[in-house]
Amino acid sequence: MTNQREFIKGLFAKKGAEPFTNLSIKKADFLAQIESLKEDEKGFINLTMAPQKNDPAKYSVWVNDWKPTGKKPQSTKQESYNENDLPF
């Protein structure tokens, strides 16, 4: 993901009555920006939404352009042990 977030224009999200979140879309602004974005290899445009720091009842929405690096995560598998080696 790039260091600079590209916030989505024309899309507004606000907490509603639990468990709902309300979305409002300003159609012209939203469609213009969505049309300018490049789809991923599966045809998706990925967005991330998180509560705003200054008003947690409102959300910011931005383009999520994260892609895997191709590196596999290191194994968290524990080494095997012998019961005779246990200290107790």
Domain residue extents for the chain? 1-67
Mean pLDDT value across residues 35-59: 93
Mean pLDDT value across residues 27-45: 93
For residue 3 the two structure tokens come to 């260091």
Please tell me the predicted confidence (pLDDT) of residue 60.
94
Check residues 79 and 19 and name the one with the higher pLDDT: 19
26 neighbors 10 (Cβ within 8 angstroms): yes
Please tell me the predicted confidence (pLDDT) of residue 31.
95
Side-chain-side CA neighbours of residue 82 (13 Å) = 2
Mean pLDDT value across residues 18-38: 94
Q: What is the pLDDT of residues 52-68, one digit of tens each?
A: 999 999 999 999 988 87
Check residues 6 and 71 and name the one with the higher pLDDT: 6
